[in-house]
Chains A and B, each alone.
Chain A
């Protein structure tokens, strides 16, 4: 015991119980046998849970991670799927470019489509295209949005219900067969057909179904011009384009050739070419005679305000002055014409219309002095007699070499005339038409005045091809959704010398088909014959016969096809032909000008005749003259407004026959008295949410007897009830208000001179100016420093830069309500200023964007450094850092900063553009800005970075000319130049140091990096 006790004291200094202390044997036994019998008996790893310790830990980790992530709010839950098989030629993050063609009315434009990861994100002009030379109009730019329009028709519809292609095609084919056997008419109604292949498809259809009649219409057409031309020359002579760049004197008779009349891109390009001070100081001189202020009128050196009914008389008076009085003519004018001419005297005309005598006689002497180098150009709205008289005047003045026959206008299929359309309506009404096929046309809206809306109800079956719902599809039994232009094959031959090809750049997003493919399926008589490339193979075959066989390429037809597809166009050899010979006939004396109120109906600058109505980008582009967005309006002169007793936004009632519409007024300086200018394309009744009931439908007022929609004489006008809020991006204040008159000139925002002044005195602009010096040391920029210059001589104010910029930079559509409270988001805008009198205003325009000032006033007031300067001279925005104090916007003298007052992605029309489909339109290189963040022009920093990356990869210095900004790329007159101002040889440096270069608000010494070249007006010296 004693031993054990000693043992105890040694071994257990710690005891748990007295029993243990005294070494109770039971305890000792238990201690020796820690694992008692039976405790480990059942230990059988195989029978235990399969959960290993490792697995348990793994599961714990995973569930902890899952819990953690499930609780976090990661909003972008989109799937990211890597390519297992990467499509050939597609590199993630690298854009692909495809040449294609997009139509706009009877014009077609060569485009270059930029795609990223298989989705088109930008449409620009094809730089190699011989006509539009890399430039396209705003409508084509914005047509990209139509591809991603959430309201596109996704499936074929039958009687308003979703159907499928097999059902509708089987039914349609049996109906067509029935029509064929019964000898009933099948009418195909289409807009202008520009595509030879489409036309060939339709002709094959006519062969198959011989009772088919093909009608083609454009609401705004050049029928009068064609008639005049054909009368003057021959019925098959080509309507020429105009070499504007060769004309020294241009007399424009109400043709908005720079704005909306057709071929505007080529016109602008050529017109601005002879206003390029860097090339020569020999500018053209533009006289515009017009009733309403147009884009072209704004760009005129002299604008002559004249009522539309007096155009004819004006041309005849000019002819009288030149041919009879001055006895100048390239050839003897026949007696019939002469007698008509002699009825008009210029002196009488001037006094009768209260015109500026000196100005008109200057015009006459200019025309005489520049015989062979001038052009008189009448607009589509002029009647065919005026066109004939204008052609005669050009012949008399030997101006025919200004005509460009090589690139003349080609018509694949002539438009129907008024009688043909009337016949269609009467056939419809008499029930003779069993099937009316609307080939992507919307006659119910466009041809309201012809009573199409009621006539269509009498058609047997109405089949409508459409992209989005419209007034016609709404009353159609079958609505067949078509591919967007970017999903379709096609071709176009609108100019004699150029044939363009259209290729799809994305698979059809929805269950849609090319309309031609559908017709081909019907021709085959069997729905099963349809395949996605049915029209593709037809096109290729047709290409061979239409082009390939004529050219007979050495490399073989197949390679020629692919090469042409790559280029997007084929240049055709001009056919050797003599210029057409002028035929002297007689002029029908058109009625004397009346005291009637004239209604002039023009297409909208941006939504056309309504076919682009559902496009938010286009709706939000401000009208180039009135600066009104999201509406149309009646433009009237200040005097006429006073007579009617109306002010801006007041409604007036315009009635013609038994039709009357109410429309709000804009008092437009420079409008002829007793004239009302309205635009079509608005007031859509069936449309997507964007265009629905935007503005006022003026189509019912169109004179139904004429194919020419432009002029309606003898409307009655009265002050309407109430007013309607028009929204505008610029304040409308009276231009003769002394308080604010000419501020743009007093503050040197707009600096101008005359060409004469410049020639005598090249430094006139900077004389007497103070030299501005800084009291601090200037920051040095040693590497590339970015700068821009804008030539105000070339800028026409068309607004295409705004469209292109918004698309490139993910600028959101904000909607009418937000434009109304001055929250439009455009990063570049066109400022328009009036000076002079309300009757004869002088217009100045100026694109305004972030000036990227060296001493940027926005930067030092930002409390969080969210806006700061980059080492290459960019004023940049760190969106993540921006708190939204908006102090920068207050301190920006140019007011080019734009604030996201809402989350504009989902603000517009109940998140109209905030959906999975439409977000595909966003440029992945540009941050989509959230609510509460300031934004502004970045000089397309994403493009700069891309070029820098390329330069680094290629191991060379980045050059200023490597970068093209979106606005510069889109500018149809190349008025915008961008580059490195540190490089003395760069183009932008030359502009910057030019004697006409100036900065807006120089005296603030903020040192802007956008240089403007002062506008020179090519007026007569005696006017100065």
Chain B
């Protein structure tokens, strides 16, 4: 072992870049014209988005019948996608709020981007509850608005809870994100030469002058919002899990779902953030800000949450056996050995087995391998939602109504479209806002804070 001085906190930013350099580095993508690669990437995601939009238009025109949903399996891809995307969002809030409260400085390099991903993921997720309904033009019925019929939503229904949970989550995340951006808008405003940009940045910076008072207020607001967002990390996916847990369907009706879903959401969210950041740090030369150490820490969280998810898988089986309830036992055996066993074993291997490689430090720090493992984790987590939703429905109580669900090309197109939407928004984000919090990073650079050491 090399001699590490554990009394000294290691800097989360490598080297000791001058603060001005940090400004320039982070702002550079905003100041330069987009290059060819940007347009190539945008055209790919844009095409995906267009494909999804076309498929969606087709579904609206013809009806939900163009999807694979059938009689026992009334929920198919749209709900799987919804849960998947809501899950992806979780890492952002966890990084920006919870890690903030825990004073984890390494989060500074990735928080902004992760928060952005949260917002885009929730936006993507939010599309699905609306489009999956049979009559999407009546989706407004899901909101409790006063009306002459005296009709209210059914407050017993988890779907209504979902409406509240997801919209609250989106609002809070958005406000949190925006508040974090205010000092950076100030910096941008101060630096830009373009008049139009100046006007825009001025408006959004809300008169930020980097004054001491501003900082004081800002820190307090940020802390309060972090405190506010923290329970939401837990509550949103808990409530999403209620969509399943509150039902009486074997395989859904499980009390382990809330923690299991939250762990899974963090798991997949971190994997997605890790994936995207690996690319971003390379393209924008942020290697010293989003350091290998940061990535390694994220991999540790992936390893931890992966094992939590694995524990939940095992516990589901145990409880099913322990309950002595035949349909319950069958539901789980059917997952592992029934017609959808392929999906189940994809899920188990991607979520439980592959992340185990992160026990090895070399792999944790090897970018290419960790990238692949994180991709697999997201594949696995998508399949987890597929297994939960489809497998349980396809063989429920009465064997007479069992049927196999086969997604259609339209289902696939909408799934691709959701990735298109998410990544299109991300790509536009990289060129319009600082993807790393300038002010926060500057605050954690070695020597940025007053210390006794150099006196």
Cross-chain contact A886 with B134 (CB below 8 angstroms): yes
- A199 at the binding interface (Cβ < 8 Å): no
Chain B interface residue count, CB cutoff 8 Å, equals: 53
Give 1 or 0 for each of A724-767: 1 = CB within 8 Å of chain B CB.
Answer: 00000011000000011001101101000000000000000000
Which of B163, B334, B398 has the most A CB atoms < 10 Å from its CB? B398
Cross-chain contact B65 with A902 (CB below 8 angstroms): yes
CA distance A368 to B403 in the complex (A): 48
Hey, which chain A residues are within 8 Å of B248, CB to CB?
857, 891, 893, 1004, 1006
Given the known inter-chain contacts A857-B248, A883-B142, A1001-B397, please indicate yes or no for A863 contacting B160, CB distance below 8 A. Answer: yes
Nearest CB in chain A: distance from B399 CB, A: 5
Hey, which chain B residues are within 8 Å of A833, CB to CB?
399-400
Hey, which chain A residues are within 8 Å of B69, CB to CB?
886, 899, 901
CA distance A747 to B402 in the complex (A): 15
Cross-chain contact B63 with A881 (CB below 8 angstroms): no
Nearest CB in chain B: distance from A488 CB, A: 39
Cross-chain contact A739 with B338 (CB below 8 angstroms): yes
- B345 at the binding interface (Cβ < 8 Å): no
Hey, which chain B residues are within 8 Å of A883, CB to CB?
133-135, 138-139, 141-142
- B90 at the binding interface (Cβ < 8 Å): no
- A823 at the binding interface (Cβ < 8 Å): yes
- A587 at the binding interface (Cβ < 8 Å): no
- A887 at the binding interface (Cβ < 8 Å): yes
Given the known inter-chain contacts A883-B135, A902-B65, please indicate yes or no for A740 contacting B399, CB distance below 8 A. Answer: yes
Cross-chain contact A890 with B62 (CB below 8 angstroms): no
Cross-chain contact B62 with A902 (CB below 8 angstroms): yes
Interface positions of B from 16 to 74, Cβ below 8 Å from A = 62-65, 68-74
Cross-chain contact B70 with A863 (CB below 8 angstroms): no
Cross-chain contact A822 with B400 (CB below 8 angstroms): no
- B159 at the binding interface (Cβ < 8 Å): yes
- A894 at the binding interface (Cβ < 8 Å): yes
Cross-chain contact A730 with B70 (CB below 8 angstroms): no
Cross-chain contact A743 with B72 (CB below 8 angstroms): no
Given the known inter-chain contacts A860-B154, A883-B142, please indicate yes or no for A893 contacting B64, CB distance below 8 A. Answer: no
Given the known inter-chain contacts A865-B154, A903-B63, A932-B134, please indicate yes or no for A822 contacting B71, CB distance below 8 A. Answer: yes
- A884 at the binding interface (Cβ < 8 Å): yes
Cross-chain contact B154 with A862 (CB below 8 angstroms): yes
Given the known inter-chain contacts A881-B151, A882-B135, A885-B133, please indicate yes or no for A744 contacting B246, CB distance below 8 A. Answer: no
Cross-chain contact A864 with B154 (CB below 8 angstroms): yes
Hey, which chain B residues are within 8 Å of A831, CB to CB?
398, 400-401
Binds A, one of B190-198, B228-236, B271-279, B325-333: B325-333
Closest to B139 in A: A883
Cross-chain contact A898 with B71 (CB below 8 angstroms): yes
Cross-chain contact B75 with A749 (CB below 8 angstroms): no
Cross-chain contact A887 with B403 (CB below 8 angstroms): no
Give 1 or 0 for each of A84-97: 1 = CB within 8 Å of chain B CB.
Answer: 00000000000000
Cross-chain contact B247 with A891 (CB below 8 angstroms): yes
- A686 at the binding interface (Cβ < 8 Å): no
Given the known inter-chain contacts A865-B152, A901-B64, please indicate yes or no for A933 contacting B135, CB distance below 8 A. Answer: yes
Nearest CB in chain B: distance from A813 CB, A: 15
- B349 at the binding interface (Cβ < 8 Å): no
- B156 at the binding interface (Cβ < 8 Å): yes
- A848 at the binding interface (Cβ < 8 Å): yes
- A639 at the binding interface (Cβ < 8 Å): no
- B393 at the binding interface (Cβ < 8 Å): yes
Hey, which chain B residues are within 8 Å of A864, CB to CB?
141-142, 151, 153-154
Closest to B405 in A: A822
Given the known inter-chain contacts A832-B400, A865-B154, A902-B65, please indicate yes or no for A887 contacting B159, CB distance below 8 A. Answer: yes
Out of A746, A821, A848, A899, name the residue touching B326 (CB < 8 Å): A746
- A889 at the binding interface (Cβ < 8 Å): yes
- A934 at the binding interface (Cβ < 8 Å): yes
Hey, which chain B residues are within 8 Å of A898, CB to CB?
71
- A713 at the binding interface (Cβ < 8 Å): no
Hey, which chain B residues are within 8 Å of A865, CB to CB?
151-154
Cross-chain contact B157 with A901 (CB below 8 angstroms): no
Cross-chain contact B402 with A934 (CB below 8 angstroms): no
- A243 at the binding interface (Cβ < 8 Å): no
Hey, which chain B residues are within 8 Å of A818, CB to CB?
65
CA distance A881 to B152 in the complex (A): 11
CA distance A383 to B400 in the complex (A): 38
CA distance A833 to B157 in the complex (A): 34
Nearest CB in chain A: distance from B180 CB, A: 34
Cross-chain contact B153 with A863 (CB below 8 angstroms): yes
Which of A821, A832, A893 has the most B CB atoms < 10 Å from its CB? A821
- A907 at the binding interface (Cβ < 8 Å): yes
Hey, which chain A residues are within 8 Å of B152, CB to CB?
865
Cross-chain contact A899 with B74 (CB below 8 angstroms): yes
Cross-chain contact A861 with B71 (CB below 8 angstroms): no
Hey, which chain B residues are within 8 Å of A900, CB to CB?
63, 134
CA distance A903 to B65 in the complex (A): 9
Hey, which chain B residues are within 8 Å of A907, CB to CB?
65
- A931 at the binding interface (Cβ < 8 Å): yes
CA distance A821 to B404 in the complex (A): 8
Give 1 or 0 for each of A871-882: 1 = CB within 8 Å of chain B CB.
Answer: 000000000011
- B158 at the binding interface (Cβ < 8 Å): yes
Give 1 or 0 for each of A404-416: 1 = CB within 8 Å of chain B CB.
Answer: 0000000000000
CA distance A325 to B314 in the complex (A): 66
Hey, which chain A residues are within 8 Å of B64, CB to CB?
884, 899, 901, 932
Out of A743, A932, A933, name the residue touching B330 (CB < 8 Å): A743
Out of B135, B156, B337, B393, name the residue touching A931 (CB < 8 Å): B135
Cross-chain contact B71 with A823 (CB below 8 angstroms): yes
- A161 at the binding interface (Cβ < 8 Å): no
- B132 at the binding interface (Cβ < 8 Å): yes
Binding site for B on A (CB under 8 A): 730-731, 739-740, 743-744, 746-747, 749, 818, 821-824, 829, 831-833, 846, 848, 857, 860-865, 881-887, 889-891, 893-895, 898-903, 907, 931-934, 1000-1001, 1004, 1006
5 A-B pairs with C-beta separation under 8 A: A884-B133, A891-B247, A895-B72, A899-B71, A903-B63
Binding site for A on B (CB under 8 A): 62-65, 68-75, 132-135, 138-139, 141-142, 151-154, 156-160, 163, 243, 246-249, 326-327, 330, 333-334, 337-338, 393, 396-404, 406
